[in-house]
Amino acid sequence: MTAELTVSDQVEALVGHTYRMPGYYEVGREKIREFADAVHDDHPAHHLEEGAAELGYRTLIAPITFTSILGSIVQQHLFTEFVTVYDLSQVLHTDQRIVVHRPVRVGDQLYCESTLESFRESHGQDVLVFRNEITDGGGCAVQTSWTTMIARSGGVIDEALAGVVADVTRRRAPRRH
């Protein structure tokens, strides 16, 4: 007779495993400008090639948090394909630490590998820490980040909220390359 694994057991078993996002995210000039506008970052290097050139770059560079676009895509995949024991409407992003290896530039093809680095239960919630390695098409490091999320399992799920979350994440699904 086999005992059923708890949610904690299932997630604990994934610690150390890595998930690679399918395809890549291609960085466009207008996407950088739109993101910079959205976060009210008016630095010339995000809007004008001349501004980027003053910093030694041939093309626009993105604000540091631009990779949150990629992070949203990766989060959707993580919780639908890798850590599948949680409903995404029951997951809260609580902390982020970013190490920049080089700026994100127009034309970059960004790949992401996420490793579940740690897991613990705390006050009835599950705390998960993912290490995210973002690389370019040549395999060179662009950013490394650590994302902490708190998730709840086994609770009552508000179906209306779950529907809204599913709708939002569907809109951000990447095109496969």
Q: What total of structural domains would you count in the chain? A: 1
Q: Is residue 84 part of a domain?
A: yes
Task: Tell me which amino acid residue 173 is.
Answer: A
Task: Tell me which amino acid residue 125 is.
Answer: Q
- Among the residue ranges 19-23, 91-95, 172-176, the one predicted with the least confidence is 172-176
pLDDT tens digit sequence for 72-113? 888 888 888 888 888 888 888 899 999 999 999 999 999 999
Its domain, for residue 160, covers 7-27+64-171
Q: Is residue 154 part of a domain?
A: yes
The tally of CA atoms less than 13 A away on the side-chain side of residue 50 is 0
Q: Is residue 40 part of a domain?
A: no
Contacts of residue 167, defined as CB under 8 A and 6 or more positions apart, other chains included, come to none
Q: Is residue 135 part of a domain?
A: yes
Q: The domain spanning residue 115 has which CATH number?
A: 3.10.129.10
Q: Is residue 44 part of a domain?
A: no
Taking residue 74's Cβ as centre, other Cβ atoms within 10 Å add up to 24
Q: Is residue 39 part of a domain?
A: no
For the entire predicted model, the pTM comes to 0.80
